C-alpha cells in the first residue's frame, strides 16, 4: 500500500491541468492562474523549502521500478493533454472574448504544451515499449515538435556538452541567442539523423520509411484539421501556444547544460557523459512538477532509468533554485551570468 501512496505524489503536476481547465472556462485574471502558479507561486515556495538530496535505497528503487502506477500516471497525461487541447480550441470560439482572456488561455495552453506535451513525451520517448513511444509522439504532436523524438534520443544524448549539440548552451550565451540555435539546429539535426539511418539501410529519404518526413505530414494534417474545424484565428492561437511550449522546453535545455563541456579524447571522441555534465536541482516542487526532470545528471548518465528512480549525485553541479525560478532568471541575462558563472566557479567548471 505504501509504495502506491508514494506514487501519488506525482499527481501533483496535474494541478496545472486543473488550473488550465479553469482558465479555458473563465475570463480575465483566472486565465492567468497557470502562469502565476508556475512562475510565481512555485519559485516563491522553493525559496523556503529545503532541497532534498535523498535517494531511494535498493529495495525502494526495485519496488518503484516495478510499480505500474508510475507509468499509468504518464498515460493519464496523454489523455488529459488531448482533452485540454480540445477544451482550449473550443473555448476560443466563445463570442466577445477580450484580448486579455484570449492571451491568458493561449499562455495556459502553452504551459501544458511544454510541461506535458513535451516533458512527458521526453520520458516516454526513452522507453523501448512501442506503445509508450507512440504515446510520446502523440504528445509531441500537440506542440508540433515531433522531430524531438528523433533528435533528442539519437542526437542530444550522443553529443551533449559538445559543440556538436545545438541543445547545449555555450558559456556566456544568452537564452535569446540560444533559442534560434537550438530551434534550427535540432530540426536540421533530426533530418540528418533520419537521412543517415535510411542510407545505411539502402533506402531513399523520400519514402514512407523516413520517420522525419512522416512527422511533417502528420503535423501539417493536424494543423489543417484544426483550421477546418475551428477556423483561422483559433489555428493561429494554437500555433502560438505550441511555440510557447517549445520555447519553454528549450529554456529548460538552456538551464540544464549551460556552459558545460566534455573533454575530447585522443581519438577525437569525447569522454563518457558524467554527472557533472548537467545542472541539477533537488528542489522538491520543481522536481515533482516535471516528473524529476531536474535530476538531469542521472538521466544523461543512464537514459533508460525511469523518472521515479532518478538519483541525486554529490558531484553533480546544483542550481540555486528549481527549474521555474531558473527559467525566470535566464530571461534576464546579466543576472543569469552573474549567478550561474559564479556557480561554475564554485564547482570548478570554469
Beta strand ranges found along the chain (DSSP E): none
Q: Hey, what's the cell of 130?
A: 512501442
Question: DSSP letters along 217-264, please?
Answer: HHHHHHHHHHHHHH-HHHHHHHHHHHHHHHHHHHHHHHHHHTT--PPB
Q: How would residue 3 be classed by pLDDT, with cut points 50, 70 and 90?
A: low
Q: Hey, what's the cell of 186?
A: 535540432
CB 149 within 8 A of CB 140: yes
CB neighbour list of residue 298: distance below 8 Å, 6 or more residues apart: 275, 305, 310, 311, 312, 313
Query: Is residue 253 scored above 50 in pLDDT?
Result: yes
Rounded Cα distance between 189 and 193, Å, is 6
The overall average pLDDT reported for the chain is: 93
Query: Is residue 23 scored above 60 in pLDDT?
Result: yes
First to last CA, the chain: 47
Query: Is residue 1 scored above 50 in pLDDT?
Result: no
- Beta bridge pairs of residue 270: 264
pLDDT tens figures, 138-159: 999 999 999 999 999 999 999 9
HSE at residue 321, side-chain half, CA atoms within 13 A, is: 18
Amino acid at each position: 500500500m505504501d509504495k502506491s501512496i508514494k506514487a501519488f505524489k506525482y499527481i501533483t503536476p496535474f494541478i496545472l491541468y486543473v488550473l488550465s481547465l479553469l482558465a479555458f472556462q473563465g475570463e480575465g485574471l483566472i486565465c492567468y492562474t497557470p502562469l502565476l502558479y508556475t512562475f510565481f507561486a512555485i519559485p516563491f515556495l522553493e525559496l523556503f523549502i529545503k532541497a532534498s538530496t535523498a535517494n531511494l535505497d535498493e529495495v525502494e528503487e526495485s519496488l518503484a521500478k516495478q510499480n505500474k502506477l508510475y507509468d499509468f500516471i504518464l498515460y493519464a497525461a496523454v489523455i488529459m493533454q488531448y482533452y485540454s487541447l480540445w477544451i482550449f480550441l473550443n473555448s476560443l470560439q466563445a463570442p466577445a472574448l477580450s484580448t486579455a482572456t484570449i492571451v491568458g488561455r493561449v499562455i495556459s495552453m502553452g504551459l501544458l504544451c511544454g510541461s506535458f506535451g513535451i516533458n512527458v513525451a521526453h520520458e516516454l520517448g526513452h522507453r523501448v515499449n512501442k506503445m509508450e513511444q507512440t504515446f510520446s509522439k502523440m504528445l509531441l504532436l500537440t506542440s508540433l515538435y515531433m522531430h524531438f523524438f528523433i533528435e533528442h534520443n539519437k542526437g542530444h544524448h550522443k553529443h551533449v556538452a559538445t559543440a556538436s549539440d545545438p541543445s547545449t548552451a555555450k558559456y556566456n550565451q544568452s537564452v535569446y541567442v540560444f533559442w534560434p540555435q537550438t530551434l534550427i539546429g535540432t530540426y536540421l539535426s533530426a533530418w540528418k539523423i533520419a537521412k543517415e539511418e535510411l542510407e545505411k539501410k539502402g533506402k531513399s529519404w523520400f519514402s514512407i520509411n523516413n520517420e522525419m518526413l512522416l512527422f511533417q505530414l502528420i503535423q501539417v494534417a493536424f494543423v489543417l484539421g484544426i483550421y477546418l474545424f475551428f477556423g483561422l484565428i483559433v489555428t493561429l492561437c494554437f500555433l502560438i501556444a505550441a511555440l510557447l511550449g517549445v520555447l519553454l522546453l528549450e529554456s529548460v535545455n538552456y538551464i540544464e547544460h549551460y556552459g558545460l563541456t566534455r573533454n575530447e579524447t585522443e581519438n577525437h571522441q569525447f569522454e563518457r557523459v558524467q554527472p557533472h555534465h548537467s545542472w541539477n536541482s533537488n528542489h522538491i516542487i520543481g522536481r515533482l512538477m516535471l516528473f524529476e526532470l531536474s535530476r538531469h545528471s542521472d538521466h544523461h548518465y543512464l537514459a533508460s532509468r525511469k523518472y521515479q528512480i532518478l538519483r541525486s549525485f554529490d558531484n553533480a553541479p546544483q542550481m540555486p533554485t528549481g527549474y521555474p525560478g531558473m527559467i525566470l532568471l535566464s530571461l534576464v541575462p546579466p543576472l543569469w551570468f552573474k549567478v550561474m558563472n559564479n556557480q561554475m566557479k564554485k564547482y570548478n567548471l570554469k
